[in-house]
Structure 1
Amino acid sequence: MKKKRVGWILLIVVIVIAVVGFTFKKPETSNEKIILGSQGTDTLVWKHIANSDAAKKAHLDITVKDFTDSNSLNTALANNDIQANAFQSYAFYTNYNKTNSKNKVYALGTSYIQPMGLYSSKTKNLKDIANGSVIAIANDPAAESRGLKLLESAGLIELKKHSVNDLLTPNDITANKKNIKIKTVVSTSTPNLLHDDGVTAVVIDNNTAQMAKLNVFKDSLYHEQLDQNTRANVNVIVTNQKHRNDKDYKKLVELYHDSEIQKWIKKNYPGKMEVNKSLSDLEK
């Protein structure tokens, strides 16, 4: 009788241990924690992505950090203060790596392209921009070059012969019939200059324009035509050396192109035109 009682006690103990062990067992797949840096409307998009069902299914715990200075985003990434960022064009990315060879960052994939526009509160017609007008453009190398190319395509200036990926500066202006004065400023300050009496027009990237409630298709005097010549302006999702081959980080690209997330983006930020292509397509 005692043997049976001992046997039952041992069985109960084994069952209790098994139940407790199962209760406190760690999940087989823990969420990968990623701090992602961004800015403007891209920050809002990635906060939506971070809170999405798709992110939970991918086992990604994403914290989105907003930056106001474009140049500090890649520095923070190279230092692993953040582990990914999503804000920059392919041209910005390649230029950063050329000038920071010891702290390179690495593109994971493409996200979108959106047209840059020329805006003015002083005139409603491109043809009415007067001789000697001041036009403001962003001062980082990629945005400055892109802004100059926009002014050339609008017929306001002419630039030296260049390829799609060449970065240009005001020194590369070869003809300037209207004697346009170029003023370079921090990209996030460009909408404020629409109210500056000394500035006739402002080139604004669409991310910054959307934050200022500007619609590039309705409010700009002129905007980029989206074609093969603007492929360097496709935005990329980027990580650092430490995580460049990490499968969880490559999921960020898949998340961005998730069909439900794309529906939300198109509804709320229609200027962001999805680009889901190989990175090699941007290098051609």
Structure 2
Amino acid sequence: MKKLSKILTALVAIFAIVALTACGAKKEDAKDGTKTYVVGVASDQQKEVWEKVGESLKADNIKIKVKLFSGYTEENPALADGSLDLNSFQHVAYLENYNKENNKDLTYIGFTLISPFGLYSDKIKEPKELKNGDTVAIPNDVTNGGRALQALAALDIITLKKDAPDSPTVKDIDKKNVDIKIEEIQADQLVSVLPDVTAAFINTNYVTDQMHTTPKESAIYIDTDHLDKVSDLYKNVIAVRKEDKNKADFKKILKAYQTPEIAKMIEATNDYPAWDDAK
């Protein structure tokens, strides 16, 4: 028993030292004044953009740590559970749908960019070549899939119902003017299935990261070439938890993002800056 008592005493002492050390570290952080915020992104290009944003925030004693994700499914849960402080990968429609499906109240502090959404094909050179029996792959999430369906409607390949929502699903198709088969595929898998379908709508970050090309170089149709047909729902945002929306540091972060320098970086990645005074 004496030996056990000594062991327990030693463990308590160790835990006390660890606790004191941790407290000391926190005091150092508070004394230094620098606050670190983790932002989640879904492309190498946005990682570079956010690293540049971080450089401009050093004078405000704000440090940005960028975490790169390989898809779209993890960033919002990570933001909701506190693993991230902000994320920057999604448009308004995607965020709203996530909140609806998961009973969350994530929100956003400002716009970042609008990304071209293109139709790609190894088999045809323009959309009007689509014929009965061809297969068009679209993202299987309701927001990007909805944007693809809106593009097909703009091309008069399908007609949507009059009461179709802003992010329609295949159930909202009134008729197919060309009798194509629409195949819903996970967004990050669309590049790999492209050889097996007639054409596919693919998000730009996967085009640049996986296909090593750009919409302007390779797409047979780009919806942002017809901006009047693209809803503001598809503007990308900086998302945060609801309780952090008016946080002073986050206002500084948004201001550091919405600058002419960042606008040029966005344009260099074939996207378009989405805030009002970007031009």
In the alignment, the residues of structure 2 paired with residue 26 and residue 180 of structure 1 have an alpha-carbon distance, to the nearest angstrom, of 59
Name the structure 2 match of 1:208: 206
- Cα displacement (A) at 1:148: 0.7
Asked if residue 96 in structure 1 is aligned to residue 98 in structure 2, the reply is: yes
Name the structure 1 match of 2:239: 238
Structure 2 CA distance for partners of 1:193 and 1:228, relative to 1, 3 Å: closer
What letter is aligned with 1:78?
A: A
Q: Higher mean Cα deviation, 236-245 or 59-68?
A: 236-245
Name the structure 2 match of 1:274: 273
Q: Give the structure-1-normalised TM-score.
A: 0.79
Name the structure 2 match of 1:108: 109
In the alignment, the residues of structure 2 paired with residue 168 and residue 205 of structure 1 have an alpha-carbon distance, to the nearest angstrom, of 17
Structure 2 CA distance for partners of 1:99 and 1:26, relative to 1, 3 Å: closer
In the alignment, the residues of structure 1 paired with residue 265 and residue 97 of structure 2 have an alpha-carbon distance, to the nearest angstrom, of 31
- Cα displacement (A) at 1:229: 4.3
Local SS of the residue matching 1:88: coil
In the alignment, the residues of structure 2 paired with residue 47 and residue 62 of structure 1 have an alpha-carbon distance, to the nearest angstrom, of 7
In the alignment, the residues of structure 2 paired with residue 201 and residue 252 of structure 1 have an alpha-carbon distance, to the nearest angstrom, of 39
Name the structure 2 match of 1:6: none
Q: Give the structure-2-normalised TM-score.
A: 0.81
In the alignment, the residues of structure 1 paired with residue 60 and residue 229 of structure 2 have an alpha-carbon distance, to the nearest angstrom, of 33
- Cα displacement (A) at 1:137: 0.8
The answer to whether the 8 A contact 1:111-1:257 is kept is yes
Name the structure 1 match of 2:48: 44
What letter is aligned with 2:251?
A: K
Percentage identity across paired residues of the two chains? 30
Local SS of the residue matching 2:83: coil
Structure 2 CA distance for partners of 1:254 and 1:134, relative to 1, 3 Å: same
- List alignment gaps of at least 5 residues for structure 1: 1-24, 279-284
- List alignment gaps of at least 5 residues for structure 2: 1-27
In the alignment, the residues of structure 2 paired with residue 217 and residue 26 of structure 1 have an alpha-carbon distance, to the nearest angstrom, of 46
- Cα displacement (A) at 1:219: 1.7
- Number of matched pairs: 246
The answer to whether the 8 A contact 1:39-1:68 is kept is yes
Name the structure 2 match of 1:79: 81
Offset from partner CA, 1:201-249 (integer Å, 9 cap, x none): 0001222222232322332111111137421111110111342221112
- Cα displacement (A) at 1:58: 3.0
Name the structure 2 match of 1:193: 193
- Cα displacement (A) at 1:107: 0.5
- Cα displacement (A) at 1:162: 4.4
Local SS of the residue matching 2:88: strand
In the alignment, the residues of structure 2 paired with residue 97 and residue 89 of structure 1 have an alpha-carbon distance, to the nearest angstrom, of 13
Local SS of the residue matching 2:166: coil
Name the structure 1 match of 2:261: 260
- Cα displacement (A) at 1:149: 0.6
- Cα displacement (A) at 1:36: 0.6
In the alignment, the residues of structure 2 paired with residue 228 and residue 60 of structure 1 have an alpha-carbon distance, to the nearest angstrom, of 39
Offset from partner CA, 1:11-65 (integer Å, 9 cap, x none): xxxxxxxxxxxxxx98876222111111023233223333x2x121232211111
- Cα displacement (A) at 1:175: 1.2
In the alignment, the residues of structure 2 paired with residue 110 and residue 95 of structure 1 have an alpha-carbon distance, to the nearest angstrom, of 17
In the alignment, the residues of structure 2 paired with residue 243 and residue 169 of structure 1 have an alpha-carbon distance, to the nearest angstrom, of 32
The answer to whether the 8 A contact 2:112-2:258 is kept is yes
Give me the CA root mean square deviation. 2.2
